[in-house]
């Protein structure tokens, strides 16, 4: 068996948008497809969703459905359109402008954020193109900034701009985001990732939209700046999961402190029992090369040691030359790394309900009786989540649900292997189906031992945990 606790998310793009490639990615271990709305439009997004639905409608035995995560663009600041790239040398002086005129000086760079001038002061740092080009602000007037080039390079149209340490006065959900969110809800995406989350209030706005549309989509909060980091505990409590979005986070905060920041976020998700995703540059070198660097392998392993529910590929699978190989490497690294226990952040889990205590107890019981796994029978996925919060070591959580939406949501819940079952109300019939599924999974004629947790078979949640032999 090649069970891994850690889930794999793949961003779909030109390299992976064919249905045959999506099937291969899924077979190799991809659990979730990410649609990046910074690059996708509704037509291309719908094409991906349709292909995923087609794959899910005819799954091979033992494979769980592919879930879909729609990732919003968020309140991004970008350079304007240029007729040709501008070459900048270190030490040059250049003007950044927010003027609407098209015919600005050839040495000027248009920025689409009207609040730029008021947001920065002489001495402030501005970074472009994910930190590759950097400016220091020398002076400013009504609608321009005079800047010195710290790190030069070629700058083109619509390059991403960061203002480290500056609170950007932009809406948490832009008009584009709103259209994309409604599109995602209409087409039943499983997760919506909100970019540049700064506070729990940002998530409340998205939650209201989802609830008003009676959607089952789960909310992933992307932490990408200092303000989001400062409010991480409140954000965790308000979200269903958190993404450590290391691209912008490494620019908006101290790059040297990024490993510590990642651990702080992972600690918070473990404390509050929320799903966690580590993203960006996991296998960046494999966009061009067939094998990863040693540092990349170690980086991935560290995310797994920290208890990440999922690890996410971006350019590696969207535009990279070796998308299938990337997933294979992630899977193989996870298989090796998960032989060691996590760093133990889950020991600080806020067990604020009896049911969460039962989830922890189920894990402890399974470990003590040396069970082959934990069985969860669930409608909403809640029980599966609380058991996963305990980070079972080398212990699969086999989830059985009669809800297709729950089945997809479990694609981001660490340690789970999910099955769809038409009905879960008849105890004996359900146990019979579970037994057949697990015997097939283990391909074993020897007796198997499991701990089962479920409140479905008893209104009072009595006898919620039991040891069963199959």
What residue ranges of the chain are covered by domains with CATH 3.20.20.60?
7-74+172-337
Query: Cβ distance 268 to 301 under 8 Å?
Result: no
Separation in Å, CA 467 to CA 125, 218, 464 = 60, 32, 10
Cβ atoms of 183 and 41 closer than 8 Å: no
pLDDT at 135 exceeding the cut of 90: yes
Quickly list H helices, 306-341.
Answer: 315-318, 323-337
According to the model, what pLDDT value does residue 1 have? 53
The per-residue pLDDT for 61 is: 64
CATH topology of domain 77-162: M1 Pyruvate Kinase; Domain 3 (2.40.33)
Catalytically annotated residue among 24, 78, 207, 449: 78
Per the annotation, the verdict on 222 as an active-site residue is yes
Report how far residue 1's alpha carbon sits from residue 37's, in angstroms, rounded to the nearest whole number. 36
Is residue 207 annotated as part of the catalytic site, yes or no? no
What pLDDT does 104 receive? 47
**DSSP letter, residue 59:** P
Q: What is the pLDDT of residue 100?
A: 66
Helix (H, G, I), strand (E, B) or coil at 208: helix
The predicted structure's pLDDT at residue 461: 46
Q: What is the pLDDT of residues 159-173, one digit of tens each?
A: 889 999 888 888 999
Q: Which of 4, 253, 280, 378 is labelled catalytic?
A: 280
Residue limits of CATH 3.40.1380.20 in the chain? 351-469
* 379 part of the active site: no
CA distances from 177 to 186, 189, 280 (A): 14, 15, 21
Assign domain 351-469 one CATH number from 3.30.365.10, 3.40.1380.20, 3.90.550.10, 3.40.50.920. 3.40.1380.20
Asked if residue 221 lies in contact with residue 214, where contact means CB atoms within 8 angstroms, the answer is no
CATH 2.40.33.10 domain range(s) in the chain: 77-162
Catalytic member of 5, 7, 23, 34: 34
Query: What are residue 173's phi and psi, to 5 degrees?
Result: -125, 110
Q: Give the pLDDT confidence of 437-462 residue by residue, as tens digits.
A: 999 899 877 899 999 998 765 555 44
78 classed as catalytic = yes
Write down the pTM of the prediction: 0.94
- Range from 215-219, 431-435, 442-446 carrying the lowest mean pLDDT: 442-446
**7-74+172-337: CATH number:** 3.20.20.60
CB 164 within 8 A of CB 251: yes
* 8 A C-beta contact, residue 161 and residue 137: no
With tokens 């790239």, the residue in question is 85
Catalytic-role residue among 7, 51, 198, 222? 222
């Amino acid at each position: 068996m090649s069970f891994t606790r850690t889930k794999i998310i793949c961003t779909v793009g030109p390299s992976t948008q064919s249905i045959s490639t999506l099937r291969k990615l899924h077979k190799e271990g991809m659990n979730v497809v990410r649609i990046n709305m910074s690059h996708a439009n509704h037509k291309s997004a719908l094409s991906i969703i349709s292909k995923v639905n087609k794959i899910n409608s005819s799954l091979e035995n033992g494979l769980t459905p592919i879930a879909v995560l729609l990732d919003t663009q968020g309140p991004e600041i970008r350079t304007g359109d240029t007729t040709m790239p501008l070459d900048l040398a270190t030490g040059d002086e250049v003007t950044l402008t927010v003027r609407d005129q098209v015919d600005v000086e050839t040495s000027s760079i248009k920025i689409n954020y009207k609040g730029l001038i008021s947001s920065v002061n002489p001495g402030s740092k501005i970074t472009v193109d994910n930190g590759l080009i950097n400016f220091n602000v020398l002076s400013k007037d009504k609608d321009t900034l005079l800047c010195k080039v710290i790190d030069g390079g070629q700058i083109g149209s619509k390059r991403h701009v960061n203002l480290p340490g500056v609170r950007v006065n932009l809406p948490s959900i832009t008009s584009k985001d709103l259209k994309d969110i409604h599109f995602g809800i209409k087409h039943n995406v499983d997760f919506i990732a909100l970019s540049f989350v700064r506070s729990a209030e940002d998530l409340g706005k998205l939650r209201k939209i989802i609830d008003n549309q009676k959607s089952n989509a789960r909310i992933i909060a992307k932490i990408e700046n200092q303000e989001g980091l400062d409010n991480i505990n409140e954000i965790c409590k308000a979200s269903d999961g958190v993404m450590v979005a290391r691209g912008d986070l490494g620019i908006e905060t101290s790059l040297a402190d990024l490993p510590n920041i990642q651990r702080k976020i992972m600690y918070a998700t473990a404390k509050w029992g929320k799903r966690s995703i580590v993203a960006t540059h996991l296998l960046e070198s494999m966009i061009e090369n067939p094998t990863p660097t040693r540092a990349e392998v170690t980086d991935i392993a560290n995310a797994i040691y920290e208890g990440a529910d999922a690890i996410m590929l971006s350019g590696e699978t969207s535009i990279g030359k070796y998308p299938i190989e990337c997933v294979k490497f992630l899977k193989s690294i996870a298989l090796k790394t998960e032989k060691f226990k996590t760093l133990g952040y889950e020991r600080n889990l806020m067990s604020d309900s009896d049911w969460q205590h039962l989830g922890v107890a189920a894990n402890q019981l399974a470990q003590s009786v040396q069970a082959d796994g934990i069985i969860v029978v669930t409608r909403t996925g809640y029980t599966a989540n609380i058991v996963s919060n305990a980070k079972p070591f080398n212990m699969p959580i086999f989830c059985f649900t009669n809800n297709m939406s729950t089945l997809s949501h479990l694609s981001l819940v660490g340690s789970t292997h999910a099955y769809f079952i038409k009905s879960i109300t008849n105890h004996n019939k359900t146990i019979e189906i579970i037994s057949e599924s697990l015997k097939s999974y283990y391909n074993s004629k020897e007796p198997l031992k499991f701990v089962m947790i479920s409140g479905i078979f008893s209104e009072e949640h009595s006898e919620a945990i039991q040891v069963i032999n199959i």
